[in-house]
Amino acid sequence: MEPVGKITGSSTSSFVFSVDKEVRKFDYVCVEHHGLALAQIKEIKQSNAGTFAEAEVIGYENRKYMARTPFPVGSTVYLADEDTIRKIMGMPDDGLYIGLLKDTMMKVYLNPSILIQKHLCILAKSGSGKSYVMGVIIEEMIKKGIPVVVIDAHGEYVSLRRPNLDRQELRNAKKFGIKPKGYAKNVVEFSPLCSNNREAVPIFLDEINMSFQDILNLVPKATPLQKGILYEVFEEARKRRVYLLRDVIELIKDVKSNAKWNLLPQLEQIYSTNLFSPDYTPVEDIVKRGRCSIINLKGVPPYIQEILVAHLLSKLFDERRNENIPPFMIVIEEAHRYCPERGEGKSLASNIIKTIASEGRKFGLGLAILTQRPARVDKNVISQCNTHIILKTTNPNDIKAIVSGVEGLTTSASDEIQRLPIGTAILAGLPLAAPIFVEIRTRETMHGGRLQKI
């Protein structure tokens, strides 16, 4: 390893060294101190006395070692080589390839099992590349055969079918070793509104023998009186071997209470959307090895989106719990809509998303949450995510939510988050010893976000 300077002052967790060779902020350096220690340059200062760099220790070759004496003054500081960085940082050497460690040619991989068991969260302001990096991760999941279900509010992900044709992006692709490729065979698009989305397969929800909670979910603003009616009707319907949503509606008509007159039109309206059917879409079609299912909600009225998301996620959760479908990942774009923080509105899907966030890991059901308003997403959901990808963010409240919700980020990270260039992300979470900067690789497939914005 190349020597770059000598320590002039130190503690047990950081040191300052006089710089002989050029080094840059965020470079990794190492020092012999009870085995090899890896540190990262946090600041470089220049004065008449020379150039001095401040480095913070990340970890030791011997992972169990904890320094109890300061780094000896006069020790030689070396620029860390790739093997040392990978080993001490705990960077996996295979898995989902998402990009390069900034300013190096070291490939950065995510461990798919950790993603599925411990969830992923992508936080950044609008236009900073959340959907782009999610697209990269989905490409990699498809290659590994791991099923993905995307709740796609804008129909951005259907372009995963087509190869990337963007000239500028392809110029960059060489550096990442990426060639354009489409995944038409793996991507299946479902939509409740197929007139808008021509290539989509219609999706229908199961209306056979719905539970009381399922029925209640259809009328989120039901008054206590209306809930009473629903319960009465549910008890009646349950006496039959098979009952459909239509039967529930018919039974409400027979109820004596006048409270039914407000309830009926709400349920009739949902029924008329044809979202529910006894001939429903089998979950095995949605979650299948090697398949990425996109639930395209473009143009679908918000209340129908909510019903669909809440019902679908509950069904998928149950089926995975019963091991009727393989381990998979659910991607939720615009998560602030579906699992808002208290006081930021309500969503029917909130409860099931919280349940998946806290219990999904037991069954191999992973969540990937994306939002441009981290401060508006339920904090419990964000804190359940182990892997965090952070891109440029400028809103102070959102930065605060990120720094407080993401392990390993210090307050000095807030400046860095504001200055991140497009295409560069901070990656934090297991098994990394500290957050790293990643240059996100070029997409193999076309990115749909841009098409939306034109």
Ligand X SMILES: Nc1ncnc2c1ncn2[C@@H]1O[C@H](COP(=O)(O)OP(=O)(O)OP(=O)(O)O)[C@@H](O)[C@H]1O
Least separation in angstroms between residue 448's CB and ligand X is 8
| Residue placing its CB nearer to Mg ion in the complex, 142 or 332 | 332
Q: Determine the interface stretch with ligand X among 129-137, 184-192, 235-243, 382-390 (rule: CB under 6 A).
A: 129-137
Contact by Cβ (8 Å): 315, 219: no
Q: In the chain, what is the greatest distance between 2 CA atoms, to the nearest angstrom?
A: 91
Q: Which stretch binds Mg ion (CB under 5 A): 52-60, 92-100, 128-136, 422-430?
A: 128-136
Among residues 87, 130, 311, 315, which is the contact residue for ligand X, using CB under 6 A?
130
Rounded Cα gap, residues 201 and 194, in angstroms: 7
Number of neighbouring beta carbons within 10 Å of residue 304: 16
Mask for 418-447, x = binds ligand X (CB under 6 A): ----xx----------------x------x
Contacts of 2 (CB under 8 A, 6+ apart): 21, 78, 79
DSSP assignment of 27-47 equals -EEEEESSSEEEEEEEEEEEE
Q: Is 371 in the site for Mg ion (CB under 5 A)?
A: no
Decide: is 131 part of the binding site for Mg ion (CB under 5 A): yes
Q: Which two tokens stand for residue 295?
A: 């639930």
Identify whether the C-beta of residue 220 lies closer than 8 Å to the C-beta of residue 345: no
Among Mg ion, ligand X, none, partner that 367 touches (CB below 5 to 8 angstroms by kind): none
User: 421 or 431, CB closer to ligand X?
Assistant: 421
Among 70, 90, 92, 127, binds ligand X (CB under 6 A): 127
Q: Which is nearer to ligand X, 172 or 262 (CB)?
A: 172
157's tokens: 């992900």
Which range in 120-128, 189-197, 215-223, 272-280 contacts ligand X by CB under 6 A?
120-128
Which range in 85-93, 376-384, 389-397, 442-450 contacts Mg ion by CB under 5 A? 442-450
Q: Which is nearer to Mg ion, 134 or 329 (CB)?
A: 134
Q: Are strands 328-332 and 365-371 parallel, antiparallel or unpaired?
A: parallel
Nearest approach in angstroms of CB 335 to ligand X is 11
Other C-beta atoms closer than 10 Å to the C-beta of 159 total 22
Per CB under 5 A, the segment of 69-77, 131-139, 361-369, 395-403 that binds Mg ion is 131-139
Q: Per-residue DSSP letters for 52-102? A: EEEEEEEEESSTT----SPPPTT-EEEEPPHHHHHHHHT--SSSEEEEEET
Which of ligand X, Mg ion, none binds 440 (CB below 5-8 Å, type-dependent)? Answer: ligand X
User: Among residues 6 and 162, whose Cβ is nearest to Mg ion?
Assistant: 162
Q: Which two tokens stand for residue 168?
A: 């500028």
The entry of ligand X, Mg ion, none that residue 206 binds, CB within 5 to 8 Å by partner kind: none
The nearer residue to Mg ion, 72 or 421, going by C-beta atoms, is 421
Q: Which is nearer to ligand X, 347 or 372 (CB)?
A: 372
Residue number with CB closer to Mg ion (154 or 162): 154
Pairing mode, strands 107-110 and 96-101 = antiparallel
- Give which of 79, 180, 102, 97 is closest to 144, Cα–Cα: 97
Instruction: Verify binding: residue 132, ligand X, rule CB under 6 A.
Output: yes
- If binding means CB under 6 A, how many residues of this protein chain bind ligand X? 16
**Stretch near ligand X under the rule CB under 6 A, chosen from 85-93, 127-135, 268-276, 277-285:** 127-135
Residue 114 CB, shortest distance to Mg ion, in Å, is: 23
Pick from 10, 40, 128, 197: which binds ligand X (CB under 6 A)? 128
Are 137 and 110 contacting, i.e. CB atoms less than 8 angstroms apart?
yes
Give the DSSP letter string of 188-240.
EEEES-TTT-TTPEE--EE-TT--HHHHHHH-TT--HHHHHHHHHHHHHHTTS
Query: Residue from 131, 186, 191, 305 that binds ligand X (CB under 6 A)?
Result: 131
Residues 315-374 close enough to bind ligand X by CB under 6 A: 372
Question: Alpha carbon 399 to chain centroid distance?
Answer: 17
User: Does residue 226 belong to the site contacting ligand X (CB under 6 A)?
Assistant: no
CB environment 39-73: b (16+ within 10 A), e (fewer): bbbeebeeeeeebbbbbbbbbbeeeeeeeeeebee
**Contact mark string toward Mg ion, 306..345, x via CB under 5 A:** ----------------------------------------
CB 190 within 8 A of CB 293: yes
d(CA 259, CA 247): 18
Task: Name which position in 155, 364, 366, 449 contacts ligand X (CB under 6 A).
Answer: 449
Of the two residues 346 and 453, which places its CB atom closer to Mg ion in the complex?
A: 453
Total residue count of the chain as it appears in this document = 454
Binding site for ligand X (CB under 6 A): 124, 126-132, 169, 372, 422-423, 440, 447, 449-450
Binding site for Mg ion (CB under 5 A): 131, 449
